[in-house]
């Protein structure tokens, strides 16, 4: 598709709200997903650190099963 000018490109033939809105929603979802992934990763790292400190011998602390660490 070719446009006569940049304003015609940004207008998208009258469908700009839908086109650029969908790009915006998609970008917001990707950013939110990345934030959630990094938050979960840091929570997991903190939890593993606490579990390692609780079991200095390298074995899980009493009452902590291998499945609960995962």
- 23, 12, 64, 58: which is closest to 3 by C-alpha? 12
More confident residue, 66 or 19: 19
**pLDDT tens digits for 6-55?**
888 888 888 889 999 999 999 999 999 999 999 999 999 999 999 888 87
- Of 30, 9, 29, 35, nearest to 20 by C-alpha is 9
Residue 20 in tokens = 């650029």
Q: Are 54 and 64 in contact (CB under 8 A)?
A: yes
What pLDDT does residue 28 have? 98
Query: How far apart, in whole angstroms, are the C-alpha atoms of residue 65 and residue 53?
Result: 15
CA-based torsion, 24, 29, 30, 36: positive or negative:
positive
Supply the pLDDT for residue 51.
Answer: 87
Residue 19 lies in a domain: yes
Say whether pTM exceeds 0.95.
no
Would residue 44 count as lying in a domain?
yes
Amino acid 67: pLDDT: 64
Instruction: Please give the tally of structural domains in the chain.
Output: 1
Instruction: Give the pLDDT confidence score for residue 46 in this predicted structure.
Output: 94
Q: Which domain holds residue 23?
A: 15-51
């Amino acid at each position: 598709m070719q446009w006569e000018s940049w304003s015609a490109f940004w207008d998208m033939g009258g469908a700009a709200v839908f086109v650029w809105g969908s790009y915006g929603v998609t970008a917001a979802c990707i950013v939110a997903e990345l934030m959630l992934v990094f938050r979960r990763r840091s929570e997991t790292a903190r939890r593993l650190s606490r579990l390692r400190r609780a079991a200095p011998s390298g074995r899980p602390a009493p009452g902590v099963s291998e499945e609960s660490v995962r």
